Amino acid sequence: MTDIQFLLRKNIRSLIPYSSARNEYKGSEAVFMDANESPYNDPYNRYPDPLQVQLKKRISVVKDVPSENIFLGNGSDEAIDLLIRAFCNPGTDNIIAIRPTYGMYKVCADINQVEYRESYLTREFQPDVDEMLGLADDASKLMFLCSPNNPTSNNLNRNSLLALVKNFKGLVIVDEAYADFSSAVSLSAELPLHPNLVILQTFSKAWGMAGIRLGMAFSSSQIIRVMNHIKYPYNVNILTQRTALEQLKNTEEKNKWVTLILQQRERLAAILSGMQLVQHIMPSDANFLMVKFNEPKKVFDYLISNKIIVRDRSKVPLCEGYLRITIGTSEENNMLVSALQEFEKKKNKGW
């Protein structure tokens, strides 16, 4: 087990956090003359709750994670950045991660001038546990994993993840942005057993709220406290907090969307796998398909000329030749299929 305090950067360990007006007085029915807000233009005039108490209570019920183990941020990207800033001394400490994976971990490491050590996934797109642990030294503070992984779309083995959590001396961050689409159970039930485990989830994917910017981190209360100390005091604005509270009533609708997307994922995979121009489709536990084309660049450009935008991952190591296609509505998926059929036809005619 790891002593979280020992892992922290020294300046963060001794930090006296900013105490905002809304931190010091928490009631709601009062005459507020403490924060230099305007008395006009209700409700926009008031600063938001810095610790998002109401929203966390609701998320706590939906996710079955206690409020004190929840951090909320401006997307999960905020949590990624805060963890690096709290634990990694620029220029000396390092981070270990899988490759290929979500690009933000490396960008955040680079911005914070923290060395980023990568371990290739195996041929089955699984983490090489021994290699990852072998990359670690005394300056290794964080390890980033993503399950289901972006862009490979598969679940990482639970046992591999747990072996890393148990044997790595720093924090292990498991990004579960696509958990709602996955056949695997979240690692969140493991949180009480592993104070060095951090799970990231988001409202940007299954909940359909990428535009309001709201991400979650679940972890031990020690780690959550540190993140709350170093975040911007009012990192989640009132519009986002209100909208999320409202939308969280619609878990049934969210589940319906997930079901539709999963149906469409299977349908689209079946159609695409029967097409000449498709070489392979990776098994997906997410809301996207990794599709290998004979001529990825030509397909990508042809789709753009038809105003269908997919993500070109064909130059990513281990994903050579693949385009990443997000599952749309059945109509949108049909448009994609028609465009690909059109491309195939032109190809066969030698155009």
Ligand X SMILES: *Cc1c(COP(=O)(O)O)cnc(C)c1O
Chain residues in the site for ligand X (CB under 6 A): 75-77, 102, 146, 150, 175, 177, 202, 204-205, 210, 215
Nearer to ligand X, 209 or 277 (CB): 209
d(CA 226, CA 191): 17
* Least Cβ distance, residue 244 to ligand X (angstroms): 12
84 close to 109: Cβ distance less than 8 angstroms = yes
Nearer to ligand X, 20 or 326 (CB): 326
d(CA 202, CA 179): 9
In sequence order, the 6+-apart residues with CB closer than 8 A to the CB of 26 are: 53
d(CA 322, CA 266): 18
d(CA 227, CA 50): 12
* Least Cβ distance, residue 79 to ligand X (angstroms): 8
* Least Cβ distance, residue 324 to ligand X (angstroms): 10
| CA nearest to 306, candidates 294, 316, 298 | 298
Nearer to ligand X, 179 or 340 (CB): 179
* Least Cβ distance, residue 178 to ligand X (angstroms): 7
Buried b (16+ CB within 10 A) or exposed e, 240-253: bbebbeebbeeeee
* Least Cβ distance, residue 111 to ligand X (angstroms): 15
* Least Cβ distance, residue 102 to ligand X (angstroms): 4
Nearer to ligand X, 54 or 326 (CB): 326
- From the number of C-beta atoms within 10 Å of its C-beta (0-12, 13-18, 19+), residue 3 rates as exposed
Nearer to ligand X, 187 or 340 (CB): 187
Which residue's Cβ has the minimum distance to ligand X? 75
Nearer to ligand X, 322 or 343 (CB): 322
* Least Cβ distance, residue 160 to ligand X (angstroms): 17
In sequence order, the 6+-apart residues with CB closer than 8 A to the CB of 178 are: 148, 150, 153, 205, 206, 285, 286, 287
CB atoms closer than 10 angstroms to residue 84: 24
Q: What single DSSP character describes residue 323?
A: E
| Helices 251-273 & 330-348 angle (0-180, nearest 10) | 10
* Least Cβ distance, residue 59 to ligand X (angstroms): 14
80 close to 177: Cβ distance less than 8 angstroms = no
Nearer to ligand X, 203 or 343 (CB): 203
Nearer to ligand X, 210 or 304 (CB): 210
238 close to 48: Cβ distance less than 8 angstroms = yes
133 close to 167: Cβ distance less than 8 angstroms = yes
* Least Cβ distance, residue 310 to ligand X (angstroms): 15
Nearer to ligand X, 8 or 75 (CB): 75
